[in-house]
Chains A and B, each alone.
Chain A
Amino acid sequence: MQLRGWLVVAFSTLSLCIIIIFGYMAHRTSQETRLNTEYSFIQQRLQTLSWLLGQETRLIQEHFSRMPGPVPDQLIGTEEFLVIQNRQGITRTLGNPPAGWQNASINLDSTDDISHVRIDNKHFLAGTISLDNGLSLTLYRLISHRLEGFHDYSAWSRFVVAAMLTLWLAIWGALILAAWISRQLDRQNRRLFYHAMHDSLTGLPNRLMLRQELERLINQPAAALVALYVLDIERFQELNDTLGHVYGDDLLKKIGERLSRNKLSYELMARMGSDEFGIIALHDKHEQIKEFADQINRQLERPVSFDKIQFHTKLNIGVAVFPEHGEETNSLIQNAEVALSRAKSLKQPLILYKHEDNPYSIARLKLISELHHAIKHHELQIHYQAKYDLESGRITGAEALARWEYGKDNYIPPDTFIPLAEQTGLIGQLSRQMLYGAIRQWHEWYRQGHDIQLSLNICSSDFEDPLFREDIRRCLSQWQVPPGRIILEITENTLMETHDTNRRLLESLRDSGVILSIDDFGTGFSSLAYLRHLPITEIKIDKVFIQGMVDSLNDRAIVKTVIELAHNLGFQVVAEGVEDNQTLLLLQEMGCEVIQGYHIGRPVPANEFEDRLTSKESVTGP
């Protein structure tokens, strides 16, 4: 570990510094003690020598007059020599002085003084004493090498052992400190980790931890099914809004407690969002999913009581199971949420994810982006399907239909891309492109002498868009198209969706002069009695009834009734989806005015449609 390493290095360095400082101090102290001992030894020795020599004063004086003479050399040791000097400055030596001793400078002014003298690269201590008879004695002692450092082995060993013990203690100190610091850091990290992985309100794990746990369970080689339940509290927002967030928070906490692990057996429960909980459970069989969901619901059977109010909680649960509903964590969570949102919209307590239900597939996203591109670059074509007038036996109109060519000879059906365009808000642009294109085409055909009625489909968002109405007016006048030649088809379902406002909107469209038609009539729940009040001119009977006419007497009866009723109310009737001559004849018999379908002609590009107009071909002909 890095911290431990650094601390060991730092503590060792520190202890080495301490060892060096203390070692130096000990060395100096020892040296000085030694020197002081040596000084006092020299002084004592001088005293002794002077006393000894004092006994022999006469002798010395004689010696000075008659040199050399017998000298008590045994008085002087081997590592020292004595210099005797009389008043006249004449010197005599006792012992064995080195050759250059006379050149050595020595301060002899002060008595009892001891000084260092260097003679022939050897260090001496010199001490001087003056005697009463005018003689001065100077004793030179060689400084022992032991005075240079620790004077003996035991001091050295003591020093080395002390140094080693200090170093040892320092390293242990560093290790303990490192452990303490890392423990503190660890605790801190654990706390941070806990907060990063848990929801602060309920104390439950959060989405991140759920994700990690899911990842772990998915990757472990277990035969069990990993089921992810995503729970959402019904009417939670209502509680929050009416009673305030304090109650909402309280409810979440209480639900968290109710679903705790000692009541249900699962791997992990997390709070995933505002009122969304996630539970990961391992099952052996798929049947256990329903059982487990029931167990969850059972925990919430009793109402949650606040001081005044009892709140009955109901859950919507979406489930996705590894591996069939997602091979990895993200898709599993996403799919469980898709199942949940389906459960919410269908008001079902439990929905198991199905791939077919997922509107958010990658393919769909890809298609949306391609649709966006296609609309932006005007890649969608307009095809025209003929409307045939049974009375005159001629093509009197056409329905403009959007066609999306996707790759070579491959069309994406409008049933697929129109809802996509509606959901993604591209529909406005698409409708305008269709409108402009078709109106321009009408103008073109009109110039060639074909005066037909052109039908266009509009959806609810166009219908409610005041700018769209304005655009129609402007476009019609730009291409000098009489509004009466344009039929806007609105599906029955759209009309039903916008029930409250549709009348006013339809009136404003009708006021611009265009003809209004109800498309896919019979598939919704409107009645002719209701439509009677709307400013519409034409009704298109849905192809479901027309295609069933030949075989089903019921369908035939419905068509017949609708045609009759529509005529009675003054509407023109168009039959969609005519695919054979038999149907055509039946419709003719029933008095239907206009028919449309593959029997008359498939939707074709403008130039092909033009050819048909020019040939004036009749359906009943060959």
Chain B
Amino acid sequence: MIQLSKNIRPIERGIRSLVGLLLIYLGFIDTGTIPDALFSFLVGLFGVANLTSGLLGWCPMYHLTRTTASDGE
């Protein structure tokens, strides 16, 4: 079980949340800016990922890359 301890600093959390919101807007709400359906979906997905990590304060990729570098046997 992955331990959800915070691994993002507050400033980065804020930036991530804002970027996430912007990307969700561009991907899912404002269909005009990115007309291509696939691409707007990808952007929206990226936005959701960013917003989630921003709100949780925990980034799975940081978790994978940072903590595995410091623990292990």
Residues of A whose CB lies within 8 Å of any CB of B are 1, 4, 153-154, 157-158, 161-162, 165, 168, 172, 175-176, 178-179, 182-183, 186-187, 190
| Binary interface encoding of chain B residues 32-60 relative to chain A, with 1 for a CB under 8 A from any of its CBs, else 0 | 01111001101100100000000000000
- B43 x A161 contact (CB < 8 A): yes
Chain B residues lying within 8 Å of A165, measured Cβ to Cβ, are 42, 46
Name which residue of chain B comes closest to A174, CB basis.
B65
Q: Answer whether A186 and B42 are a contact pair too, CB < 8 Å, given A172-B61, A175-B65.
A: no
| Interface-centre pick from B40, B43, B69, B73 (highest chain A CB count, 10 A) | B69
- B64 x A162 contact (CB < 8 A): no
Judged by DSSP, the binding face of B is helix
Chain B residues lying within 8 Å of A178, measured Cβ to Cβ, are 65, 69
Assembled-state Cα–Cα distance A176/B68 (Å): 10
Assembled-state Cα–Cα distance A187/B71 (Å): 10
- A179 x B35 contact (CB < 8 A): no
Q: Answer whether A153 and B69 are a contact pair too, CB < 8 Å, given A176-B64, A179-B64.
A: no
Shortest Cβ distance from residue B39 to the other chain A in the assembled complex, whole angstroms: 4
Assembled-state Cα–Cα distance A165/B41 (Å): 12
- B69 x A157 contact (CB < 8 A): no
Assembled-state Cα–Cα distance A437/B70 (Å): 74
Assembled-state Cα–Cα distance A241/B73 (Å): 40
Assembled-state Cα–Cα distance A4/B65 (Å): 10
Assembled-state Cα–Cα distance A168/B46 (Å): 10
| Interface-centre pick from A178, A186, A190 (highest chain B CB count, 10 A) | A186
- Cross-chain pairs A/B with CB under 8 angstroms, 18 sampled: A154-B36, A157-B33, A157-B35, A157-B39, A158-B34, A158-B39, A161-B40, A161-B42, A165-B42, A168-B46, A172-B61, A175-B61, A175-B65, A178-B69, A179-B66, A179-B68, A186-B69, A186-B72
Assembled-state Cα–Cα distance A4/B72 (Å): 18
Shortest Cβ distance from residue A173 to the other chain B in the assembled complex, whole angstroms: 11
Q: Answer whether A154 and B42 are a contact pair too, CB < 8 Å, given A172-B61, A175-B61, A176-B65.
A: no
Shortest Cβ distance from residue A8 to the other chain B in the assembled complex, whole angstroms: 11
Chain A residues lying within 8 Å of B70, measured Cβ to Cβ, are 186
Q: Could you say which of B39, B46, B69, B73 contacts A182, with CB atoms under 8 Å apart?
A: B69
- A162 x B39 contact (CB < 8 A): yes
Chain A residues lying within 8 Å of B73, measured Cβ to Cβ, are 187, 190
Shortest Cβ distance from residue B8 to the other chain A in the assembled complex, whole angstroms: 14
Judged by DSSP, the binding face of A is helix
Chain B residues lying within 8 Å of A175, measured Cβ to Cβ, are 61, 65
Shortest Cβ distance from residue A378 to the other chain B in the assembled complex, whole angstroms: 67
Shortest Cβ distance from residue A153 to the other chain B in the assembled complex, whole angstroms: 7
Shortest Cβ distance from residue A198 to the other chain B in the assembled complex, whole angstroms: 15
Assembled-state Cα–Cα distance A175/B34 (Å): 29
Shortest Cβ distance from residue B63 to the other chain A in the assembled complex, whole angstroms: 10
Q: A158-B34, A183-B68, A186-B70 are in contact. List 8 more A-B contacts (CB 8 A).
A: A154-B36, A157-B33, A157-B39, A161-B34, A161-B36, A161-B43, A176-B61, A176-B64
Chain A residues lying within 8 Å of B40, measured Cβ to Cβ, are 161
Assembled-state Cα–Cα distance A182/B40 (Å): 36
- A183 x B42 contact (CB < 8 A): no
Shortest Cβ distance from residue B55 to the other chain A in the assembled complex, whole angstroms: 19
Chain B residues lying within 8 Å of A161, measured Cβ to Cβ, are 34, 36, 39-40, 42-43
Assembled-state Cα–Cα distance A157/B36 (Å): 8
Name which residue of chain B comes closest to A171, CB basis.
B61
Shortest Cβ distance from residue A228 to the other chain B in the assembled complex, whole angstroms: 30
Chain A residues lying within 8 Å of B42, measured Cβ to Cβ, are 161, 165
Q: Answer whether A153 and B61 are a contact pair too, CB < 8 Å, given A182-B69, A186-B72.
A: no
Assembled-state Cα–Cα distance A142/B39 (Å): 33
Chain B residues lying within 8 Å of A153, measured Cβ to Cβ, are 35
Q: Could you say which of A158, A162, A168, A179 contacts B65, with CB atoms under 8 Å apart?
A: A179
Shortest Cβ distance from residue B49 to the other chain A in the assembled complex, whole angstroms: 10
Q: Answer whether A183 and B69 are a contact pair too, CB < 8 Å, given A175-B61, A176-B64.
A: yes
Name which residue of chain A comes closest to B66, CB basis.
A179
Assembled-state Cα–Cα distance A153/B66 (Å): 40
Chain A residues lying within 8 Å of B72, measured Cβ to Cβ, are 183, 186-187
- A179 x B36 contact (CB < 8 A): no
Assembled-state Cα–Cα distance A550/B68 (Å): 88
| Interface-centre pick from A153, A179, A187 (highest chain B CB count, 10 A) | A179
- A157 x B65 contact (CB < 8 A): no
Name which residue of chain A comes closest to B49, CB basis.
A168
Shortest Cβ distance from residue A78 to the other chain B in the assembled complex, whole angstroms: 28
- B34 x A157 contact (CB < 8 A): yes
Chain B residues lying within 8 Å of A183, measured Cβ to Cβ, are 68-69, 72
Assembled-state Cα–Cα distance A1/B62 (Å): 13
Assembled-state Cα–Cα distance A123/B5 (Å): 63
Assembled-state Cα–Cα distance A446/B65 (Å): 96
Chain A residues lying within 8 Å of B65, measured Cβ to Cβ, are 4, 175-176, 178-179
Chain B residues lying within 8 Å of A162, measured Cβ to Cβ, are 39
Shortest Cβ distance from residue A445 to the other chain B in the assembled complex, whole angstroms: 85
Assembled-state Cα–Cα distance A161/B27 (Å): 10
**Ordered nearest first, which 3 A-B pairs have the shortest CB separation?**
A179-B65, A154-B35, A161-B39
Assembled-state Cα–Cα distance A165/B44 (Å): 12
Chain A residues lying within 8 Å of B43, measured Cβ to Cβ, are 161
Chain A residues lying within 8 Å of B46, measured Cβ to Cβ, are 165, 168
Chain B residues lying within 8 Å of A186, measured Cβ to Cβ, are 69-70, 72
Chain A residues lying within 8 Å of B35, measured Cβ to Cβ, are 153-154, 157
Assembled-state Cα–Cα distance A412/B36 (Å): 101
Shortest Cβ distance from residue B72 to the other chain A in the assembled complex, whole angstroms: 6
Chain A residues lying within 8 Å of B39, measured Cβ to Cβ, are 157-158, 161-162
Name which residue of chain A comes closest to B67, CB basis.
A179
Assembled-state Cα–Cα distance A1/B65 (Å): 12
Name which residue of chain B comes closest to A157, CB basis.
B34
Assembled-state Cα–Cα distance A4/B69 (Å): 11
Assembled-state Cα–Cα distance A158/B33 (Å): 10
Shortest Cβ distance from residue A186 to the other chain B in the assembled complex, whole angstroms: 7
